[in-house]
Amino acid sequence: MPRQEFLPYALPLIEEDDIAEVVDSLKSNWISKGPKTAEFERRFAEYVGAKHAVAVNSCTAGLYLSLVAAGIGPGDEVITTPMTFVASANVVLHCGAKPVFVDIDPVTMCLDVNKIEAVLTPRTKAIIPVHIAGHPCPMDEILALAGKHHLFVLEDAAHAVYTKYKGKLIGTLGNATSFSFYATKNLATGEGGMVTTDDEALAEKIRIMSLHGMNHTAWNRYSSAGSWYYEVLYPGYKDNMTDIQAGLGLTQLAKLERMQGRREEIAARYNEAFGRLPELETPVELEYARHAWHLYIIKLNLDRLTIDRARFIEELKGQNIGTSVHFIPVHFHPYYRDTFGYKPGDYPQAEAVFGRIISLPLYPRMTDQDIRDVIEAVQTVVEHSRR
Ligand SMILES: *Cc1c(COP(=O)(O)O)cnc(C)c1O
């Protein structure tokens, strides 16, 4: 019997403590950036082990501000992967620089380090590795290349809160790391992001740029210790977090381990069930990795199936199971295709993987019955479409 109610592919876990903390922010009068934002920055920096954390209103803003603070601009090239959310590449264009894609390792879907050197030019200034789905990129190799060629390493950690690389939490490996707290992410504040770095000057510049380029925040100016005086040091932006979001950030961070424990349980149940089906390839967790299980991406072995990925998704929807696809390769989007003249075949591994991937529901709120329903639905579709 298929389930009666549609199961979305992602939902946040908002509980009474989250609601109480947001209400507390509203009652405190600090409804923009204030003491809770500062507290969330301190706790987040402490959690990942970084010297500095700057709260912003999205991961996209954090990526962009990091590039600007690093001095990336017109004439520069920035390397990233086509298998990502388009924000990783858009921010490069916003700086006036050019995104340069490197094809992926089809197993982890992270960018293939062996293909980086071939695209380096004297204009290459930075690299943005994306820890896709919550699996870390091979950072030692990336950092070694970056050191050799003087590249700024900006990690897109939108999926990677809780991810570990060789026993270390993501957040201190590159020059800067940007996290996302968007509604679907592992730690959700609705909209929100955080940049972590050990570079004090970089952190200070990002902080100032995030709030109009002013050298004092409202928190300093409006408290009794503050002063009306401020100076504008850069033509900055309006990318700060608010205490309404930071309230959620604090309660979500406090329960992160519990939420991740549930994600790990679900991933283990899926691995066990789907590992038995030769029609599917389950996600890997390489020896050096602790996966954050932001996404559970199966790859269809299309030669063993009579239907394609689009049809597989429709069949799951027919069983009331929601799914998504992460991601449509960036170079397939009309803007990128038409502006840079990309064509099919330019990034063959990303393109081949794209035709095979489906993200299944995986989030802490899922009940045991939800997990069983997903497993049964996938098994049923495979049985009906086996070659
Ligand atoms: C969600 C996401 C982003 C953007 O995060 P926002 O907080 O929505 O700006 C960037 N990169 C990747 C890989 C993402 O999945």
Query: Which atom of ligand 1 approaches the CA of 84 most closely?
Result: 13
Count CB-CB contacts under 10 A for residue 23.
Answer: 12
Encode burial over 301-332: b for 16+ CB neighbours within 10 A, e otherwise: ebeebebebeebbebbeebebbbbebbebbbb
253 neighbors 40 (Cβ within 8 angstroms): yes
E strand residue ranges, 201-346: 280-281, 289-290, 296-300
In this structure, which amino acid lies at residue 156?
Answer: D
Cα–Cα dist 283/292, whole Å: 12
Kindly state if the Cβ of 130 falls inside 6 Å of ligand 1.
yes
Q: Which residue has the tokens 């908002």?
A: 14
Q: Is the pTM of this model over 0.95?
A: yes
In this structure, which amino acid lies at residue 341?
Answer: G
Nearest-10 crossing angle of helices 243-254, 256-274: 60
Residue from 54, 83, 85 to probe ligand 1 pocket by mutation (most atoms less than 8 Å from CB): 85
98 neighbors 70 (Cβ within 8 angstroms): no
Residue from 86, 110, 156 to probe ligand 1 pocket by mutation (most atoms less than 8 Å from CB): 156
Kindly state if the Cβ of 64 falls inside 6 Å of ligand 1.
no
How confident is the model at residue 222, as a pLDDT?
66
Residue-wise pLDDT tens for the chain (387 aa)? 779 999 999 999 999 999 999 999 999 999 999 999 999 999 999 999 999 999 999 999 999 999 999 999 999 999 999 999 999 999 999 999 999 999 999 999 999 999 999 999 999 999 999 999 999 999 999 999 999 999 999 999 999 999 999 999 999 999 999 999 999 999 999 999 999 999 999 999 999 999 999 987 656 666 776 778 889 999 999 999 999 999 999 999 999 999 999 999 999 999 999 999 999 999 999 999 999 999 999 999 999 999 999 999 999 999 999 999 999 999 999 999 999 999 999 999 999 999 999 999 999 999 999 999 999 999 999 999 999
Q: What share of the chain is helix, strand, coil (3-state, %, to 5)?
A: 40, 15, 40
Kindly state if the Cβ of 241 falls inside 6 Å of ligand 1.
no
How confident is the model at residue 218, as a pLDDT?
56
Residue from 182, 237, 295 to probe ligand 1 pocket by mutation (most atoms less than 8 Å from CB): 182
Cis peptide before 6 (omega within 30 of 0): no
256-385 folds as Aspartate Aminotransferase, domain 1 (3.90.1150)
Q: How far is the CA of 376 from the centre of ligand 1 (A)?
A: 31
E strand residue ranges, the chain: 52-56, 77-80, 98-101, 124-127, 152-157, 164-165, 168-169, 176-180, 193-197, 280-281, 289-290, 296-300, 357-360
Tokens of residue 210, six digits: 């995030």
Sheet architecture: strand order including 176-180: 52-56, 193-197, 176-180, 152-157, 124-127, 77-80, 98-101
The string of DSSP letters for 316-368 reads HHHTTB--B-S---GGGSHHHHHHHT--TTSSHHHHHHHTTEEEEP--TT--H
Q: How far is the CA of 379 from the centre of ligand 1 (A)?
A: 31
Count CB-CB contacts under 10 A for residue 2.
Answer: 12
Kindly state if the Cβ of 83 falls inside 6 Å of ligand 1.
no
If you count them, how many residues does the chain have? 387
Q: How far is the CA of 158 from the centre of ligand 1 (A)?
A: 5
Catalytic residues: 185
Kindly state if the Cβ of 85 falls inside 6 Å of ligand 1.
yes
16-254 folds as Aspartate Aminotransferase; domain 2 (3.40.640)
Please report, to the nearest 10 degrees, the dihedral formed by the alpha carbons of residues 39, 185, 62, 149 taken in order: 120
Element of type H or E holding 369: helix 368-385
Cα–Cα dist 58/179, whole Å: 8
- Could you tell me the residue ranges of all domains in the chain? 16-254, 256-385
Cα–Cα dist 128/118, whole Å: 16
Kindly state if the Cβ of 59 falls inside 6 Å of ligand 1.
yes
Task: For residue 241, give the nearest of 203, 197, 195 by alpha carbon.
Answer: 195
Q: Which residue has the tokens 């209103």?
A: 57
